[in-house]
């Protein structure tokens, strides 16, 4: 006797034929054969039960970026208030260079505030569109990640966190499961 059984579908050696469970015929297809071939129809794309992990991570990172932008917004507004206060309390005998420096400082801070507001609104809007958005939301998320990374290079020591988060947003939104999520059929 050899082990394991060489014919796992037949009767074990030394057993009477026909003993045990009777052999059954295969069950017929409930609706008949599939046109163009027998058996079951070919399987379609897998159904998405929920948002994939990488897409969830990208969404969370967008909310984190928006929160960090809000902290930066508060700091920029406080800086603008400080520069404006310094401009009011300077000596009336100041030189034109000092006035020009304060004006440039105010202009830079105002531009920074506008940029922070734009990036914050874009991050929140994109993150909220992840549930029902299509391929355009995915493309816009990748573009946002690239723009966020490029802008963070301008203030690199302070923008290191934004650089890392922007690269992660690009990576998570560009993965295949992200593509499948944003290109899924909607009903």
Sketch the domain layout of the chain as residue ranges.
54-182
CA distances from 93 to 10, 80, 87, 103, 160 (A): 108, 23, 12, 16, 41
Alpha carbons 182 and 177: distance in angstroms, whole number: 9
* Tokens (6 digits) for 72: 């930066």
Q: What percent of the chain has pLDDT over 90?
A: 34
- CA neighbor of 147 nearest in space, from 182, 115, 108, 181: 115
- The tokens of 21 are what? 């469970």
Res 80: pLDDT: 84
Q: What is the pTM of this model?
A: 0.67
> Could you tell me which residue, 36 or 145, shows the higher pLDDT?
145
* Contacts of 177 by beta carbon, 8 Å cutoff, 6+ apart: 52, 53, 54, 55
Q: Judge whether residue 1 has pLDDT over 60.
A: no
Alpha carbon distance 118, 112 (integer Å): 10
Instruction: Give the integer Cα–Cα distance in Å for 123 and 59.
Output: 9
Q: Residue 84 above 70 pLDDT?
A: yes
For 172, what's the count of Cα atoms within 13 Å in the CB-facing half-sphere? 23
pLDDT at 17: 58
- 123-149 tens-digit pLDDT: 999 999 988 878 889 999 999 999 999
Give the pLDDT confidence score for residue 99 in this predicted structure.
67
State CA 64 to chain mean position distance.
12
d(CA 106, CA 113): 10
Residue 2 pLDDT greater than 70, yes or no: no
Residue 15 confidence (pLDDT): 59
Tens of pLDDT along 149-185?
A: 999 888 878 789 999 999 999 999 998 888 888 888 8
pLDDT of residue 19: 58
Residue 52 contacts residue 173 (beta carbons within 8 Å):
no
How far lies 30's CA from each of 23, 38, 50, in Å? 21, 12, 31
The more confidently predicted of residues 13 and 130 is 130
**For residue 96, what pLDDT band results from cuts at 50, 70 and 90?**
low
Across the chain, what does the average pLDDT equal?
Answer: 79
């Amino acid at each position: 006797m050899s082990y394991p059984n060489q014919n796992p579908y037949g009767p074990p050696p030394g057993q009477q034929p026909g003993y045990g469970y009777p052999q059954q015929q295969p069950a017929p297809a409930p609706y008949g054969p599939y046109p163009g071939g027998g058996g079951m129809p070919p399987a379609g794309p897998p159904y998405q039960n929920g948002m994939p992990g990488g897409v969830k991570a990208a969404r969370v990172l967008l909310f984190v970026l928006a929160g960090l932008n809000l902290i930066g917004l508060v700091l920029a507004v406080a800086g603008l208030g400080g520069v404006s206060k310094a401009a009011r309390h300077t000596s009336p005998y100041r030189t034109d260079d000092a006035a020009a420096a304060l004006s440039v400082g105010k202009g830079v801070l105002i531009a920074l505030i506008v940029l922070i507001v734009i990036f914050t609104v874009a991050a929140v809007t994109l993150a909220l569109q992840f549930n029902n958005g299509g391929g355009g939301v995915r493309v816009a998320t990748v573009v946002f990640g690239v723009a966020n990374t490029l802008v963070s290079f301008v203030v690199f020591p302070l923008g290191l966190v934004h650089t890392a988060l922007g690269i992660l947003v690009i990576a998570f939104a560009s993965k295949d499961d992200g593509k499948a999520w944003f290109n899924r059929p909607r009903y």
